Structure 1
């Protein structure tokens, strides 16, 4: 397996950085599950604890591009180790914070490190593997995010409830130290700009901008529907409140499956894979809107939308490495920003729609936005600015209509 996929050190580094992705995603959302205990311990309101998550996401949106531009000249191993060291220290500080504002400050520092980490980690991982294996490597990396949603956040919530919320953050800091040491040992040192994936393998500004646009619109559609999925499940489909958790677990399992299916397909059928994912998301949300009164149809629809959103995340990361018109780190930073803007705008749209059209309205708008994203990705080959010479390597032309 190692001979076909990558060297032992490359696989170890991939596992360590997948763990880091898992930790960042878990840390970002963990206060939601521990909201009552944090609020009680620090003597603040539930809404103030909610701001710990909202502000974290906004920091990532605002800081990703400027911080990545400042940090992109640092050697990749040194930069990743620095970012993970910041994660370890800031998360430990979160665990020992004696008041709300210190906890907020510690989380903002963690968010700043995550902003740069997302931009750097995908090219760093891809550069460890041959061109034809990079999509699979990136899909494994992004499986860390799906696993965090599926298991990390529930496990952290459980640990915090059984012991103390601070224990959960200390555990994340300790695992971060493990990831840091492993990256330090396994990731080869390399000057910035010299890695195998530091620039797009088939640079094309038109296709890259199409990918960024698809990201923003598709993610906005997904989160317009997803943010208020609980009221839909209980109010439209008639599920009991106790069923919401298991249903979201099913959705998470489908998402993890989506990541690995995309890893198998993306290196050979890039554009077709992404087109299929966005189209399937539009179909799933349209089906949820039309047949949401049926519990069976709703389970199928939310499973499909979970599959497509997680798979789309991995597909976007891999395709940016093909078409990035300049440095892949900056291209990844822009895509990461577009993704987080989609989350923020989608959640806002959902909050606006919920009091009026209600949960079904959020799903309908999500479906329409996904359909718009499908139109963009369908037209992507028309945006190509780069001629395709005869004999071009498979990775550079795969999936082009």
Structure 2
């Protein structure tokens, strides 16, 4: 395999920031849901489509876009996708109707899927072999950082101004990142055409299959509830909307702590780390409508929620590394699953919230967490090289 002898850390940083901005853009409407729903005159459940649409588009663009562009230089591809992100963010900020806003979100989804699919495979071409794990950690650290910090920071900006400013700012940052990608990335011609059959082959491996299905249960369940965290905190815990952005920052901080703790634990005990995620989410989310009825208890449960979900990426990726016959192909499959699950979770939660109530949506999410926990529990721990006890 071709290896880069001189490390290009600025290129790695540019790719990491690109991932951070794209995943932040995908999830940004979560913290701004109430604002956008009020501004556009739609229900919170309908506003949740701002998460569903890019999630579904990203899920399909992740495996299909690399196939469609063939042998296009990946430097050009990544820069162009970030430019599409600029257009999607600016058009979102300027949208005069909810339909136009959703159309702009399609562009965001296209950027997310294509960028994520390529970014994970270029680390060996940017740094020497011995430094590839560090580069991969940095690049995919953008995903974790976006999940735990992107939404809170975007929500804070939206609260200090309005949701249009938040989207516009994201577009400006994306423009700067597109320039950084163009100037810092070296030419990156693809080594071989991307084929879909390798992705399908990964699913025949039991370890990969369990990881994919568990991810689907956990992420669909999480976003079925978390997409509506702003009304949950306001209506169930009695917290003022002006405090939501600050609390989501605390949620983000808890997620970072969970990510670090899981990184240390999953390396030694990947089976127990993955089993703990749906099990703990089940408890926290199920009891939230019952025990989170006061601001103090609501905040405590929110912090626990953030810490557990913050551990998802590193724990599942460790499982994949232990079990996948082709780590790169399995990671692309996980990108499809994760993004599709975000969209499906937001859509499912929206239908439940509009048709019933927020507590019902949280209990439905808990049911999905239960399925995930049972799936892992019924899987032999030896698959990941760990004894159950």
TM-score normalised by length of structure 2? 0.75
Change (3 A) 1:319 1:204: farther
**Shift in Å, 1:254:** 1.2
CA contact (8 A) 1:90 1:107 kept: no
**Shift in Å, 1:375:** 1.3
CA contact (8 A) 2:31 2:154 kept: no
**Shift in Å, 1:370:** 0.9
CA contact (8 A) 1:160 1:168 kept: no
**Shift in Å, 1:96:** 7.3
For 1:258-277, list aligned pairs within 5 A: 258-277=258-277
Q: Secondary structure at the match of 2:239?
A: coil
Q: Secondary structure at the match of 1:150?
A: helix
Q: In 2, distance between residues paired with 1:206 and 1:304?
A: 30
Q: Does 1:345 align with 2:344?
A: yes
CA contact (8 A) 1:139 1:263 kept: no
2:25 is aligned to 27
Q: Does 1:85 align with 2:80?
A: yes
1:118 is aligned to 116
2:181 is aligned to 180
Q: In 2, distance between residues paired with 1:103 and 1:356?
A: 23
2:237 is aligned to 237
CA contact (8 A) 1:211 1:320 kept: yes
**Shift in Å, 1:59:** 1.5
CA contact (8 A) 2:82 2:175 kept: no
Q: In 1, distance between residues paired with 2:204 and 2:152?
A: 35
Q: Secondary structure at the match of 2:293?
A: coil
Q: Secondary structure at the match of 1:293?
A: coil
Q: In 1, distance between residues paired with 2:192 and 2:14?
A: 20
Q: In 2, distance between residues paired with 1:272 and 1:135?
A: 24
2:300 is aligned to 300
The farther-off stretch of 78-87 and 366-375 is 78-87
Change (3 A) 1:360 1:84: same
Q: In 2, distance between residues paired with 1:229 and 1:167?
A: 23
1:220 is aligned to 220
2:328 is aligned to 328
**Shift in Å, 1:309:** 1.7
2:141 is aligned to 140
Q: In 2, distance between residues paired with 1:352 and 1:181?
A: 42
Q: In 2, distance between residues paired with 1:289 and 1:33?
A: 19
The farther-off stretch of 146-155 and 135-144 is 135-144
**Shift in Å, 1:10:** 6.0
Change (3 A) 1:274 1:11: farther
**Shift in Å, 1:281:** 1.5
Change (3 A) 1:252 1:107: same
Q: Secondary structure at the match of 2:380?
A: helix
Q: In 1, distance between residues paired with 2:325 and 2:61?
A: 21
The farther-off stretch of 110-119 and 175-184 is 175-184
CA contact (8 A) 1:262 1:315 kept: yes
Change (3 A) 1:87 1:205: same
2:246 is aligned to 246
CA contact (8 A) 1:90 1:106 kept: no
In structure 2, the gaps of 5 or more residues are: none
Change (3 A) 1:380 1:139: farther
The farther-off stretch of 131-140 and 332-341 is 131-140
For 1:143-162, list aligned pairs within 5 A: 143-146=144-147, 147-152=149-154, 154-155=156-157, 157=158, 161=162
Change (3 A) 1:153 1:79: farther
CA contact (8 A) 2:353 2:360 kept: yes
CA contact (8 A) 1:282 1:368 kept: yes
The superposition leaves residues 218-266 of structure 1 with CA deviations (integer Å, 9 ceiling, x where unpaired) of 1122122212233332333232333333222221221222223333333
The superposition leaves residues 348-387 of structure 1 with CA deviations (integer Å, 9 ceiling, x where unpaired) of 3323333565222222222222121111122333694xxx
**Shift in Å, 1:294:** 4.0
Q: In 2, distance between residues paired with 1:249 and 1:219?
A: 20
Q: In 1, distance between residues paired with 2:164 and 2:224?
A: 35
**Shift in Å, 1:122:** 3.0
Q: In 1, distance between residues paired with 2:159 and 2:291?
A: 34
**Shift in Å, 1:20:** 0.8
CA contact (8 A) 1:36 1:46 kept: no
CA contact (8 A) 2:79 2:179 kept: no
